[in-house]
Structures are given as structure tokens and as C-alpha cells.
């Protein structure tokens, strides 16, 4: 572990990123870095009054922002993208300090923010609806997309800044305003992003106050957002348990929910797979980000004919991958976020043993203060038992043999969640089968790449207990707008639809 002074490093970064010192000192909420467990800042929780005021201000901002032409709204997001480009190194390093990602992954996360800003700028000139053939003469039917209102964003520790940007960049060009509750584990990166947003807003000139706000705090802040009548859409990323708490409250008040919940992602390795490529793809997807992505590869089904070639090589990669301080060159696996996550990993490994699994790795390897470092675990399972079907947010890969492709696809689909999935194969029939109607039931189904590391151009999200939401690219923007169907009569008679007569 390299010698360093994390609190000083964090405070220098926060200063460079423009976060006022008063926001990160003197508060009641300590913020620990998973690198050593050291407390690196103390932030202030937003009380109920601050939350209520932020939502009111966001609503007032919406009333003017909705009338700003969308391409002009895009200009604000363009400026935000510029600020992110200029601050990429500092913000990426802050992600490393606060979330424990490797330097490359911290930078990658900020790059994902830049990408979505670019995407949203283009989108700001493409928010179009359809014109539809009408059955009535001298009529025109069309649809118009309008801003929806205040969007609440609840994000998780593992993508502490990118998830906000997927939502905020789209919401802002769509004419909405944004109130963000980041994970209580990662408030510093959120405050830094807010500072960058404020720089962009200042350069923009006439952005209404409260267009984008961050509220630091625990569960009560999330509850304030979810239950506020003025928050018309809540985009929430986190556990399925969190989604189960959030969804009924939104449903009861007919607000929109965009849920990005658990994932228990699988990959199938067919007999024809390129095993070099599979090895790298599986290793990154399973061990990258210390197994703490929603899209992390957690289940690997390997065809009997290649199992004894691939798995020894994968085990060797597990045994040799460098675990350690995520700031060090060559380290590919950083710390777990906290001791609770380590406890969950230990429980899962013990259950796996009890269910007949052979565990390779998984032991705690470095003790750096309170920092929790583990060697990723590869677990050979005799079958898809209960523990395999349970998402454990830690670097555990369950490996199983299969002989029949459809049986492997069924196993892929047996998980209660449906986020991401992959097949490694050079057989076009297998690849197409996997992507077809009888293939993977997940929101993401890949061929010859792992299930993680999606780019922003596609819609991101999944089915079943993953929550069904889609964010980022494709037509995900529609979740942030309301659709009006307009029928315009430019004639002088009034023919009724379906031939109904009503002559007075
Ligand atoms: C998440 O883990 O919450 O596809 C999102 C990926 C990233 C996003 C992960 N682009 O792995």
C-alpha cells in the first residue's frame, strides 16, 4: 500500500474541482475512503426543510426551463461536457478515492459522463414525434413531446457520477429539472459534479436557480424525493430491496419510476468459442470494479467440451490478478466498498461450500487500516443452487458445466433479475439463438463480449427484478418527457372518428 495522506489528497482535489470547503468539513456525516477506511471528509445532511425547498425551487425552475428551446438547453449540457473534459483527471481520481475504482475505471466513468453529454447535445435537436395517418378528411394527427417536470435521481456508490449524468444530461435537454440524491457512501464526487455543473451554468448565463441540485443524506432524503408530488419521475439505481420500497410509493401517486436494480448476469461459453477472447472477456466482466457493477459477470456456463481448457486458465488469472491500492499501476482489483460487503461475500462463499461448491480464492489479502481487499473468488458449482441465484455484490464468479445450449439459456433466464448476459461462440446459429425471442431474457444480450462495460449509445437496463427501466441511449429520452397526441381539424366539417353520428 503506497504511503499517502488520503484526507489531504481528497481535500486538494475537492478544492481544485471547486467544492467549497464548508460543504465537506464540519458536517455530521463522515465519508470514508475504501482504500484505507480513513475518514476523508465530513458532509452535511440536507434536513427535511432543505429537501422540500430544493424540490420547490426545482419545480419553479422547471416552469421557466420547459420554455427554453431544446437546442439552447443542449448548450448548457455542452458546457457541462466541456467542464467534465477539463476536470476528467481530478474527478476520475476522486472517484478512485471515494469508490475505490482503479484509476482507469475512474477515468472511464468520467468519460461515460462526457459521452452522454455529447449524446444529449445532439439529442437536443432530435426530440421528435410522429405524424400519423388519420381516418378523417382534412385532419392531421401527430404527437408532440413535452418536458415532464422535476426528475429525482437516486444513485448508487458503484457508479457514483456516471449514473447521474445518464439521467441529468437527458433530463436537462428534455426540459426537466433534476434533484439528485447520491449514495451516502459517495457524496464527495456528487458535490464535485455539482460544482462543475454550477461552473457550466454560470457560463451558460441564464440558467434558472435550482435547475440541478444535489441533496446529501440517507434514506430520508430518498423518501422525500419519492413521496414529493412535484417529482414526476424518479430514476433509482440500487438494490432490488430499494426498488421494492420505492416502486409502490411512486405507483400510489402515479409518478413514473425508472428502476435500475439488481443483476445476476451470466455468460455462456459454447464449444466453438475463441477461448483467448473469452478468458479476457470473462476476467474483466467478473473481476473488474472488484465485482461491484450491476453488470458484473456472476454466473458462467461453460460447455463440457471446453470446460477443462478454459477453467484452469481462468483459475490461474484469478490467482495472479493484482489486488491492491487502486491508485497503483498494474492493480486491476481495488477494495470492496466496506466491511458489510465483505461480510456478504463471506456468507455467500460459506453457503456455496455448503451447496457443494469448490471455492478458489476469496480470501482477504491485504489489511490496510479498515480497507477491505479480497482475492476474487471463482467457485465451481455442481449446479445452479440457491446461492448462485442470489446476487452478492462482490467478486464471486460461479462456474458450471453444460451440454445443451437451450438448457444453458434456460439457466441464464432462471435468475430473478434480467439485466445483462453474453454468449461466447463462433457459431452463428448459437449467437442468433441467444439474441432471439427464445434466447436471453435480459435487457442486454451480447455476443463475444462480456455482460459489463456497456457504452452509452444503447438503452441500458433490464427486466424482471432489475426493474424494467432504460436509461442512456436509443429512445430512453422518452421516459423523461410526456407525449401528447394532437389531432388537428383544418376543414370546416366535423367528421367523428369510427363513423359515429351525433347531429344536433
Ligand atoms: C452499474 O453497474 O450500475 O455496463 C452500471 C456497465 C456500465 C454501467 C454499469 N456502463 O458496466
Which domains, and CATH codes, for the chain? 6-261+467-484 (3.40.605.10), 265-458 (3.40.309.10)
pTM: 0.97
Contact 423, 447 (CB under 8 A): yes
pLDDT at 66 over 80: yes
**Alpha-carbon span 347 to 13, nearest angstrom:** 37
Q: Answer yes or no: are the C-beta atoms of 192 and 272 closer than 8 Å.
A: no
- Over 80: is that where the pLDDT of 368 sits? no
At 1-47, the pLDDT tens digits run: 555 799 999 999 999 999 999 999 999 999 999 999 999 999 999 99
Instruction: Report CA(293)–ligand 1 centroid distance (Å).
Output: 6
Calculate mean pLDDT across residues 431-441. Answer: 98
What mean pLDDT is reported for the chain?
Answer: 97
Q: Taking the C-alpha atoms of 167, 168, 170 and 173 in order, what is their torsion angle to the nearest 10 degrees?
A: 160
When pLDDT is averaged across residues 181-200 and rounded to a whole number, the result is: 98
DSSP assignment of 310-369 equals HHHHHHHHHHHS-BS-TTSTT--B--BS-HHHHHHHHHHHHHHHHTT-EEEE--EEEEET
pLDDT tens-digit readout, 47-65: 999 999 999 999 999 999 9
Provide mean pLDDT across the span 77-83. 98
Q: Which residues neighbour 144 within 8 Å (Cβ) at sequence distance 6 or greater?
A: 129, 483, 484, 486
Residue with the smallest CA separation from ligand 1 atom 6 is 453
For the CA of 456, the closest atom of ligand 1 is 10
> Which are the catalytic amino acids?
260, 294
pLDDT digits (tens, 9 = 90+) for 134-152: 999 999 999 999 999 999 9
Q: Return the ∠ at Cα 216 (arms to 53 and 161), rounded to 5°.
A: 115
Ligand 1 close to Cβ of residue 294 (< 6 A): yes
Q: What spacing in Å lies between the alpha carbon of 207 and ligand 1's midpoint?
A: 30
d(CA 176, CA 64): 10
Query: pLDDT tens digits for 270-301?
Result: 999 999 999 999 999 999 999 999 999 999 99
**Look-up: residue for cell 478515492?**
97
Q: How far is the CA of 151 from the centre of ligand 1 (A)?
A: 21
Express as a percent the part of the chain with pLDDT over 90. Answer: 98
Cβ of 159 closer than 6 Å to ligand 1, yes or no, is: yes
User: Which helix or strand (DSSP H or E) is residue 227 part of?
Assistant: helix 219-227
Percent share of the chain, pLDDT over 70 = 99
| pLDDT of res. 1 | 53
Is ligand 1 within 6 A of the CB of residue 295?
Answer: yes
Contact in structure between 456 and 112 (CB atoms under 8 Å): yes
β partners of residue 350 = none
CA distance 63 to 53: 15
Nearest CA to ligand 1 atom 5: 294
Q: Is the CB of 444 under 6 A from ligand 1?
A: no
Over 60: is that where the pLDDT of 497 sits?
yes
C-beta of residue 298 within 8 angstroms of C-beta of residue 264: yes
Mutate to test the pocket of ligand 1, among 119, 157, 159 (most ligand atoms within 8 A of CB): 159
Query: In this predicted structure, what is the pLDDT of residue 421?
Result: 98
User: Once rounded to an integer, what is the mean pLDDT over residues 190-218?
Assistant: 97
Name the 3-class secondary structure at 332: coil
Determine which helix (DSSP H) or strand (DSSP E) holds 286, and give its type and residue range: helix 275-287
State residue 483's pLDDT score: 98
Question: What pLDDT does 3 receive?
Answer: 53
* CB of 155 closer than 6 angstroms to any ligand 1 atom: no
pLDDT digits (tens, 9 = 90+) for 468-488: 999 999 999 999 999 999 999
462 CA distance to ligand 1 middle (Å): 12
Residue 100 near residue 393 (C-beta atoms within 8 A): no
What are the start-end ranges of the H helices in 47-186?
A: 48-65, 70-86, 88-99, 103-123, 162-174
Whether residue 373 is predicted with pLDDT greater than 90 in this model: the reply is: yes
Ligand 1 lined by 99 (C-beta under 6 Å):
no
The vertex-24 CA angle with 22 and 26, nearest 5°, equals 70
Other CB atoms closer than 10 Å to residue 61's CB: what's the count?
21
Task: Output the pLDDT for position 370.
Answer: 82
pLDDT at residue number 366: 78
Separation between Cα atoms, residue 63 and residue 209, nearest integer Å = 12
Mean pLDDT of 425-429: 98
The confidence score (pLDDT) of residue 2 equals 52
Q: Is 422 in the pocket of ligand 1 (CB under 6 A)?
A: no
Amino acid at each position: 500500500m503506497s504511503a499517502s495522506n488520503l484526507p489531504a489528497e481528497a481535500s486538494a482535489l475537492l478544492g481544485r474541482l471547486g467544492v467549497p470547503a464548508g460543504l465537506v468539513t464540519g458536517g455530521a456525516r463522515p465519508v470514508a475512503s475504501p482504500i484505507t477506511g480513513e475518514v476523508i471528509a465530513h458532509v452535511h445532511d440536507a434536513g427535511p426543510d432543505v429537501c422540500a425547498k430544493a424540490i420547490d425551487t426545482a419545480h419553479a425552475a422547471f416552469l421557466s426551463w420547459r420554455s427554453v428551446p431544446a437546442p439552447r438547453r443542449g448548450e448548457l449540457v455542452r458546457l457541462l461536457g466541456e467542464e467534465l473534459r477539463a476536470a476528467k483527471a481530478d474527478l476520475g481520481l476522486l472517484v478512485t478515492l471515494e469508490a475505490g475504482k482503479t484509476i482507469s475505471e475512474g477515468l472511464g466513468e468520467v468519460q461515460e459522463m462526457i459521452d452522454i453529454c455529447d449524446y444529449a447535445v445532439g439529442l437536443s435537436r432530435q426530440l421528435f414525434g410522429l405524424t400519423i395517418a388519420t381516418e378523417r378528411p382534412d385532419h392531421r394527427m401527430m404527437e408532440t413531446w413535452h418536458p415532464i417536470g422535476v426528475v429525482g435521481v437516486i444513485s448508487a456508490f458503484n457508479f457514483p457520477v456516471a449514473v447521474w449524468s445518464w439521467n441529468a444530461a437527458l433530463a436537462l435537454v428534455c426540459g426537466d429539472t433534476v434533484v439528485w440524491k447520491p449514495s451516502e457512501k459517495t457524496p464527495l464526487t456528487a458535490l464535485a459534479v455539482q460544482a462543475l455543473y454550477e461552473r457550466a451554468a454560470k457560463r451558460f448565463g441564464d440558467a434558472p436557480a435550482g435547475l440541478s441540485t444535489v441533496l446529501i443524506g440517507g434514506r430520508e432524503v430518498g423518501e422525500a424525493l419519492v413521496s414529493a408530488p412535484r417529482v414526476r419521475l424518479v430514476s433509482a439505481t440500487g438494490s432490488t430491496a430499494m426498488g421494492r420500497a420505492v416502486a409502490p410509493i411512486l405507483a400510489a401517486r402515479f409518478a413514473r419510476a425508472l428502476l435500475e436494480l439488481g443483476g445476476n448476469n451470466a455468460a455462456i461459453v459454447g464449444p466453438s468459442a475463441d477461448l483467448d477472447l473469452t478468458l479476457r472477456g470473462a476476467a474483466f466482466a467478473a473481476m473488474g470494479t472488484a465485482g461491484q457493477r450491476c453488470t458484473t459477470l456472476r454466473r458462467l456456463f461453460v460447455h463440457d467440451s471446453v470446460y477443462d481448457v478454459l477453467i484452469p486458465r481462468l483459475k490461474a488469472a484469478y490467482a495472479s490478478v493484482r489486488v491492491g491500492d487502486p491508485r497503483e499501476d498494474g492493480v486491476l482489483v481495488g477494495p470492496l466498498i466496506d466491511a458489510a460487503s465483505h461480510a456478504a461475500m463471506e456468507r455467500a462463499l460459506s453457503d456455496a461450500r455448503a451447496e457443494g461448491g469448490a471455492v478458489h480464492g476469496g480470501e482477504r489479502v491485504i489489511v490496510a487500516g479498515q480497507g477491505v481487499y479480497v482475492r476474487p473468488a471463482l467457485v465451481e458449482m455442481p449446479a445452479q443452487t440457491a446461492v448462485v441465484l442470489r446476487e452478492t455484490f462482490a467478486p464471486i464468479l460461479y462456474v458450471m458445466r453444460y451440454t445443451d445450449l437451450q438448457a444453458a439459456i434456460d439457466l441464464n433466464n432462471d435468475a430473478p433479475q434480467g439485466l445483462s448476459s453474453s454468449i461466447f461462440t463462433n457459431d452463428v446459429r448459437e449467437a442468433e439463438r441467444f439474441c432471439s425471442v427464445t434466447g436471453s431474457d435480459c435487457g442486454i444480450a451480447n455476443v463475444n463480449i462480456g455482460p459489463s462495460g456497456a457504452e452509452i449509445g444503447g438503452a441500458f437496463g433490464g427486466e424482471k427484478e432489475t426493474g424494467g427501466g432504460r436509461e442512456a441511449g436509443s429512445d430512453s429520452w422518452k421516459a423523461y418527457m410526456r407525449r401528447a397526441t394532437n389531432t388537428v381539424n383544418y376543414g370546416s366539417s366535423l367528421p367523428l372518428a369510427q363513423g359515429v353520428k351525433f347531429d344536433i
